[in-house]
Amino acid sequence: MVLIFLWKQRPLFRGMSPWATASAVVRGLRPQIPGSMPRILAALIEQMWSGKPEDRPSASEVSNALQAPEMVDAVRDALAEMAASKLALSASFAAVPEETGELSESPP
C-alpha cells in the first residue's frame, strides 16, 4: 500500500478516511495499481498481496528486489517519463494567454 501511495502521491481510495481505508485493506480491498508504475514493481506489489502468507516475499526479499538494478532502472525511467509529461503539460498551459479579468465592450 505504501508503494502505491508514494507512487500516486494521493490517497489510495477517494473519499475514504485513513481509518476506513485501513479497514477496507484488512477486508481484502486493494487499490488499482497505477498504469504508470513499472511492471516489475507492480509484480512485486502483487506478490506482497498474496492471500497465502507463504507466497509473500520476506522483508529481505522485498528489500533486495527494490534495490536490484533492473528495478532501480525501471523506476528511474518511469519517473523520468512522468516528469517529462508533467513538464510538457506545464509548458502547454504556459503557452495559453492569461485572461486580464477585464471585460471588453461588445460590438454594437
- Digit-coded pLDDT (tens) for 48-90: 999 899 999 999 999 999 999 999 999 999 999 988 887 666 6
If one counts the domains in the chain, the total is 1
Q: Please give the span between the terminal C-alpha atoms of the chain, in angstroms, as a whole number.
A: 61
Would you say residue 18 lies in a domain? no
| Mean pLDDT, residues 94-102 taken together | 56
In sequence order, the 6+-apart residues with CB closer than 8 A to the CB of 100 are none
For the cut 60, the answer to whether the pLDDT of residue 96 exceeds it is: no
For the cut 70, the answer to whether the pLDDT of residue 93 exceeds it is: no
Would you say residue 60 lies in a domain? yes
For the cut 80, the answer to whether the pLDDT of residue 108 exceeds it is: no
The three cell numbers of residue 48 are 506482497
Would you say residue 50 lies in a domain? yes
In sequence order, the 6+-apart residues with CB closer than 8 A to the CB of 50 are 56
Rounded distance between C-alpha atoms, residue 28 and residue 24, angstroms: 6
Would you say residue 51 lies in a domain? yes
Closest by CA position to 42, among listed 13, 65, 18: 65
